[in-house]
Chain A
Amino acid sequence: MQDLPITALPQETQEALKAIGKADILIGIPSYNNAETIGHVIRAVKLGHAKYYPGKRAVLINSDGGSTDGTREAAQTAFDEDIYDLSLVHRPQEPIEGVTTTYLGIPGKGSAFKAVFEAAHLLGAKACAVFDSDLRSITPEWVQLLLAPVLEKGYGYVCPFYRRYKYDGTITNSIAYPLTRALYGRRVRQPIGGDFGFSGELVSQYLEKDVWETDVARFGIDIWMTTTAMVEGFKICQSFMGAKIHDVKDPGADLGPMFEQVVGTIFLLMKTYESRWRKVVGSRPTAIFGFKTEVSPSPLQVNLERMITKFKQGFDQHETYYEQALSPDCMSKLAEVREMATERAIDFPKVLWVRIIYNYAASYQKESDRKHLLESLIPLYFGFVASYVRETESYDDYKAEETIEELCEIYEDTKPYLLQRWKEKGCEE
Chain B
Amino acid sequence: MEEKKKILAVDDEEDIRFILKEELTDEGYDVYTLGDPTQALDKIEEIKPDLVLVDIKMPQMSGIELLGKIRDKYYDLPVILLTAYSSFKRDIASAASDHYVVKSGDLTELKNRIERIFKVKV
Q: Which residues of A contact B (CB under 8 A)?
A: 153, 161, 163, 184-187, 189, 235, 238, 240, 279-288, 290, 292, 294, 398, 401-402
Please name the residue on chain B nearest to A186 by beta carbon. Answer: B122
Q: Looking at the complex, which one of A189, A238, A281 makes contact with B121 (CB distance below 8 Å)?
A: A281
* Other-chain residue from B89, B92, B98, B116 in contact with A285 (beta carbon distance below 8 A): B98
Interface residues of B in 66-122 (CB under 8 A from A): 68, 71-72, 75-76, 78, 89-93, 95-98, 116-117, 119-122
**Residues of chain B contacted by A288 (CB below 8 angstroms):** 68, 71, 92-93, 95-96
Q: How far is the CB of A82 from chain B (nearest CB, A)?
A: 36
Contacts of B120 in A (CB 8 A): 185, 281-284
Query: Interface of B with A (CB < 8 Å)?
Result: 68, 71-72, 75-76, 78, 89-93, 95-98, 116-117, 119-122
**Of A187, A284, A286, the contact of B78 (CB 8 Å cutoff):** A284
The answer to whether B95 and A185 have CB atoms under 8 Å apart is no
Task: With A185-B120, A283-B122, A288-B95 given, name 13 new contacts (CB 8 A).
Answer: A235-B75, A280-B122, A281-B120, A281-B121, A282-B119, A282-B120, A285-B96, A285-B98, A287-B96, A288-B71, A288-B93, A288-B96, A398-B90
- Measured between beta carbons, the chain A residues less than 8 angstroms from B68 are 287-288
| Beta-carbon contact of A161 and B92 below 8 Å | yes
Contacts of A283 in B (CB 8 A): 120, 122
A279 — which chain B residues lie within 8 A by C-beta?
121
Task: Say how far B122's CB is from chain A's closest CB, in angstroms.
Answer: 3
Distance of A162 Cα from B103 Cα, bound (Å): 28
7 contacts between A and B (CB under 8 A): A161-B95, A185-B122, A238-B95, A281-B119, A285-B96, A288-B92, A288-B95
Give CA–CA (A290, B72) in the complex, Å. 12
A280 touches B75 (CB 8 A): no
